[in-house]
Amino acid sequence: MFAALANPARFMAFSRWAAPILGVLGAGLVGYGLWLGLNAPPDYQQGETVKIMFIHVPAAWVSMMAYACLGGASFFSLVFRHALADAAARAVAPLGAIFTGIALVTGMLWGRPMWGAWWVWGDARLVSVLVLFLLFLGYMALRASIDDEAKGARAAEILALVGLINLPIIKYSVEWWNTLHQGESVMRAGGSALAPVYLTPLLLTGAGYSLAFGALWLARIRAEVWRRRATSLALRAALA
């Protein structure tokens, strides 16, 4: 399927339908998950604030997934020099920054009542998500500051791959520094620590976020392909 979609014409035909279908499915899942989650009983410790989790945790998942997608697309673009992979890398960076921003802001809104502070520097995971946000910004800044599109793409790809080193650090920081933040509770050896009444809506919104992310990504790749087509058409018209 991956190889078949590398053909731009086939990709455009596929994404034309896939993007809206994924978007509707994702919005439906997020809506249903949020409805279930908001109607769940308040937590005995966290009270009603536990419900921020249904917005916060999936955004954090998707932000890391987005960087993995950025790294993967950059790798394909660097190795196979495929234009579509480069368009995908370019398209995913602002999306990743937005999802990381959502995770940071909702995390702060949760931290204020629960920890008594908007931001806790003692926690490694908070800081590494902030670093992830800065990595997205750095990627976009590097890309924007290089005039030559091909050179900018290549430099940004190298940066994305260098930044991939940071992803495992985010993942394992929870174990490296055993600090304030909740440890891994959804997926861990010996079953989940979450009650099903919270786990079900969380998994639903997680799946919904992922599908919505896929839809937005496809739509942005399509926009990028069109932008390139428009640029080359304008160039051809100017030369004619």
The residue ranges that bind another protein (CB under 8 A) are 78, 124, 127-128, 131, 134-135, 137-138, 141-142, 145-148, 151-152, 154-155, 158-159, 161-163, 165-166, 169, 176
Report the residue number, 169 or 235, with the smaller CB distance to another protein: 169
Report the residue number, 55 or 78, with the smaller CB distance to another protein: 78
Residue 25 exposed, middle or buried by CB count within 10 Å (0-12, 13-18, 19+): middle
**Considering the complex, what minimum distance in angstroms separates the CB of residue 237 from another protein?**
27
Residue 108 exposed, middle or buried by CB count within 10 Å (0-12, 13-18, 19+): middle
**Considering the complex, what minimum distance in angstroms separates the CB of residue 111 from another protein?**
20
CB 130 within 8 A of CB 118: no
Report the residue number, 60 or 202, with the smaller CB distance to another protein: 60
Residues in the chain: 240
SS3 string, 198-226, reads HHHHHHHHHHHHHHHHHHHHHHHHHHHHH
**Considering the complex, what minimum distance in angstroms separates the CB of residue 204 from another protein?**
33
Q: Token pair for residue 46?
A: 């966290």
3-state secondary structure of 237: helix
**Considering the complex, what minimum distance in angstroms separates the CB of residue 153 from another protein?**
9
Report the residue number, 165 or 239, with the smaller CB distance to another protein: 165
